[in-house]
């Protein structure tokens, strides 16, 4: 019984992580057909913000991290992606590589390649035991924080004018503009929300390992992108489902793989993803017709 519960907690924790990153990527892709590889650098900005502000009260540190990432996301949109809006997907992708590379280099100049550490919320390292099951507080926080964010995002998308406009623009950008939806505003909002998700992700990542390095965003973005692709790139519910599917798969492999193979867990995981994408290239969810973004 405890093994099953442990499995559920592990799967939900991993799934929440992946869903957070997948959502940020899917949101931007849905609205401007951009696969933003620089999403990883947003996570990096969040992590180094935590490093710089770790002497502050922890609430202030966490708030600052989220704000800094959201501001960086907005800057990224304004400086790099707005000028090439509507360009073909290859141009957009290459630009996102360039942005990623630039931010990596700037961070390296400031912080060097030496890993840093931060221990912001000591609670994250402790755990709670309930009926024989030991769960880290970080898992609890990750699962709950993600659930709250998902519900908040769903409410925003369905109950607010800005959210409905964002969904309209993601489905048919040109028609949305003809109806008066302001493209600058809707795209900037998407980046701000993507930044907020990346900021929370950064907090949870740093909480998990206590370590901060230039490459901290690399693996999360890989997993986030994969989860988004599983869900049918661009579909927000799809990204969430994709994240949790990936989480369950990771936890399953963790439990089932024999000891000698455990180190190759991610290789098995991605083999499974390749198989899935070969069977269903569009992902689990179909996305509405893609339209050019202007």
Partner 1 sequence: MLRVEGLDVQYGRIRAVRDVSLEVSQGEIVGLLGPNGAGKTSTLGAVSGRLPVAGGRVLLEGEQLDGRPAEEIVRRGVSLVPEGRHVFATLTVAENLAIGATVRKDRAQVAEDIERQLERFSVLRRYYRSNAGKLSGGEQQQLVIARALLSRPRLLLLDEPSLGLSPLLVDLVFETIEQLRAEGLTILLVEQNASRTVEVADRCYVLRGGELVAHAPRGDLSPEELGDIYLGAGER
Binding site for partner 1 (CB under 8 A): 161, 164-165, 167-168, 171-172, 174-183, 288
Instruction: Yes or no: say if 20 and 172 are a contact pair by the CB < 8 Å rule.
Output: no
Q: In sequence order, which residues have a C-beta less than 8 Å from that of residue 67 and are 6 or more positions away?
A: 199
Shortest distance, position 230 Cβ to partner 1, whole Å: 19
Shortest distance, position 175 Cβ to partner 1, whole Å: 5
- Nearer to partner 1 among residue 55 and residue 289 (C-beta): 289
The burial of 59, by beta-carbon neighbours within 10 Å (0-12 exposed, 13-18 middle, 19 or more buried), is given as exposed
Shortest distance, position 280 Cβ to partner 1, whole Å: 19
Shortest distance, position 26 Cβ to partner 1, whole Å: 14
- Nearer to partner 1 among residue 175 and residue 261 (C-beta): 175
- Nearer to partner 1 among residue 102 and residue 168 (C-beta): 168
- Nearer to partner 1 among residue 85 and residue 265 (C-beta): 85
Distance of CA 160 to the CA centre of its chain: 23
Shortest distance, position 153 Cβ to partner 1, whole Å: 16
Residue whose tokens read 């109950």: 159
Q: What is the DSSP letter of 160?
A: S
Element containing residue 129 per DSSP (H, E): strand 127-130
Residue whose tokens read 């919320």: 121
Distance of CA 161 to the CA centre of its chain: 24
The Cα 103–Cα 111 span in angstroms is 12
Q: What is the DSSP letter of 284?
A: S
- Nearer to partner 1 among residue 78 and residue 177 (C-beta): 177
């Amino acid at each position: 019984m405890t093994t099953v519960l442990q499995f559920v907690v592990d799967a939900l924790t991993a799934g929440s992580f992946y869903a957070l990153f997948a959502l940020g990527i899917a949101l931007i892709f849905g609205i401007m057909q951009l696969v933003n590889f620089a999403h990883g650098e947003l996570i990096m900005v969040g992590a180094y913000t935590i490093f710089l502000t770790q002497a502050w009260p922890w609430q202030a540190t966490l708030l600052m991290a989220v704000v800094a990432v959201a501001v960086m996301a907005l800057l990224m949109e304004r400086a790099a992606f707005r000028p090439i809006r509507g360009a073909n997907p290859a141009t957009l992708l290459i630009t996102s590589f360039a942005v990623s590379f630039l931010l990596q280099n700037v961070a390296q100049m400031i912080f060097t390649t030496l890993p840093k550490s931060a221990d912001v919320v000591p609670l994250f390292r402790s755990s709670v035991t309930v009926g024989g099951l030991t769960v880290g507080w970080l898992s609890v926080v990750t699962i709950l924080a993600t659930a709250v964010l998902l519900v908040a995002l769903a409410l925003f998308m369905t109950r607010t004018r800005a959210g409905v406009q964002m969904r309209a623009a993601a489905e048919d950008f040109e028609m949305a503009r003809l109806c008066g939806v302001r493209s600058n505003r809707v795209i900037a909002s998407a980046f701000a929300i993507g930044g907020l998700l990346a900021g929370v992700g950064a907090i949870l990542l740093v909480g998990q390992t206590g370590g901060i390095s230039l490459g901290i965003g690399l693996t999360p973005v890989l997993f986030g992108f994969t989860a988004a692709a599983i869900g049918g790139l661009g579909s927000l519910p799809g990204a969430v489902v994709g994240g949790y599917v990936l989480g369950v798969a990771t936890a399953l492999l963790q439990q089932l793989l024999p000891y000698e193979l455990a180190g190759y867990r991610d290789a098995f995981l991605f083999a499974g993803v390749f198989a899935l994408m070969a069977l269903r290239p569009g992902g689990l969810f179909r996305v509405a017709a893609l339209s050019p973004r202007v």
